[in-house]
């Protein structure tokens, strides 16, 4: 179509993909910044970096951190096999280093991490009305990361990634960068 061969186009994509990736994150976040972390599964065909996950497809687990106010992607972690729990993936993917010095909201899967999670009822003690109100605020704030995932997954590459090795990671970083560019205008 553009007068170049498939191998030349592949070389250009391999060369440019890391350049489109997210820029390194700041080590310090301004005071008052709240970050939101969540994991998403990206189906991939490279079984060396993927594992069968809850959707019975070979997927990789990607931890993504967004700024709650601007909804921009702050960090995206290294891909892990899709059967990893979010708390373990949070530590192993490297995003915990990018969120230092800022409060982080997470869902119930982040127990045992520094992330702020919602209140959990116990058999002997139900939630109080204040705890239920806290959970409502927490749920509404966390919806922002789910909306970011839905916008990022409009790119077909994150719905069925055929790249091998680090290609999955570069694809997520590139889509995160495009997501930030679309929001920031």
Q: How do the pLDDT tens digits run along the chain, 185 residues long?
A: 457 777 776 677 667 666 655 655 555 777 888 999 999 989 888 888 888 887 778 889 999 999 999 899 999 999 999 888 899 999 999 898 888 888 999 999 999 999 999 999 988 999 999 999 999 999 999 999 999 999 999 888 888 888 887 888 888 888 898 888 888 86
- pTM score > 0.85 for this model? no
**Residues 133-154 as b or e (16 or more Cβ within 10 Å = b):** eebeebeeebebbeebbeebee
Bridge partners (DSSP) listed for residue 52: 58
- The per-residue pLDDT for 63 is 94
The whole-angstrom separation of Cα 157 and Cα 180 is 17
What pLDDT was estimated at residue 185? 67
Q: Which two tokens stand for residue 91?
A: 């530590």
- Which helix or strand (DSSP H or E) is residue 117 part of? none
- Nearest CA to 119 out of 69, 99, 111 is that of 111
pLDDT of residue 20: 59
Q: Which two tokens stand for residue 181?
A: 């560019």
Which residues is 73 bridged to in the sheet?
A: 66
Strand duo 58-67 + 35-43: pairing: antiparallel
Residue 5 vs residues 13, 16, 39, 140: alpha-carbon distances, Å: 13, 17, 37, 48
Q: Report the sign of the C-alpha dihedral through residues 159, 164, 168, 170, in that order.
A: negative
Q: Domain locations in the chain?
A: 35-119+127-184
| Residue 146: predicted pLDDT | 93
């Amino acid at each position: 179509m553009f007068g170049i061969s498939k191998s030349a186009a592949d070389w250009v994509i391999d060369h440019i993909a890391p350049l489109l990736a997210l820029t390194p994150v700041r080590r310090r976040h301004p005071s008052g910044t709240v970050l939101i972390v969540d994991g998403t599964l990206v189906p991939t065909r490279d079984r060396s970096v993927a594992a069968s996950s809850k959707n019975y497809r070979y997927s990789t687990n990607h931890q993504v951190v967004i700024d709650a106010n601007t909804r921009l992607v702050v960090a995206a972690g290294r891909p892990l096999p899709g059967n990893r729990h979010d708390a373990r993936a949070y530590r192993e993917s490297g995003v915990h280093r990018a969120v230092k010095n800022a409060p982080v909201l997470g869902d119930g899967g982040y127990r045992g991490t520094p992330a702020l999670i919602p209140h959990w009822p116990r058999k002997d003690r139900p939630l109080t009305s204040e705890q239920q109100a806290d959970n409502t605020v927490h749920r509404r704030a966390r919806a922002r990361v789910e909306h970011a995932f839905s916008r990022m997954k409009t790119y077909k590459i994150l719905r069925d990634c055929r790249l091998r090795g680090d290609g999955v990671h570069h694809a997520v970083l590139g889509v995160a960068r495009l997501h930030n560019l679309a929001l920031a205008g």
